[in-house]
Amino acid sequence: MRGPLPRHLQKRGEVCTVKMELLENGCLKIVLTNEELEEMGLTFERLDYRNAETQRAIQQLLLAARQETGFRHSGDLTVEAIPLTLEEIFIYELG
């Protein structure tokens, strides 16, 4: 990945400000607020992997997840974005 991580993905001490969790089944759970999406130049409605901004955001999130949780993927990923509330979305990545 090129360039620094967005401010909200950078570590503050030892904590990444985006909520990330590696689940027991090996999947990665990421919860983003609308504000965090906007900082990446996205909205829930514009999430589309054919979109360069979405691709860049997913790569940034995967890098941050590796640093934060140890999540590593090999091969293809399935990414699912689900709105949780008006303020948050849930991104589910199958490794």
Digit-coded pLDDT (tens) for 21-40: 888 888 888 888 888 888 88
- Specify the pTM: 0.75
d(CA 56, CA 5): 10
What is the signed CA dihedral for 39, 58, 30, 93, rounded to 10 degrees? 160
All residues at 6 or more sequence positions from 58 whose CB lies less than 8 Å from its CB, including other chains: 49, 79
Choose the weakest-confidence range: 35-39, 54-58, 64-68, 83-87: 83-87
Digit-coded pLDDT (tens) for 70-93: 888 877 788 888 887 766 666 666
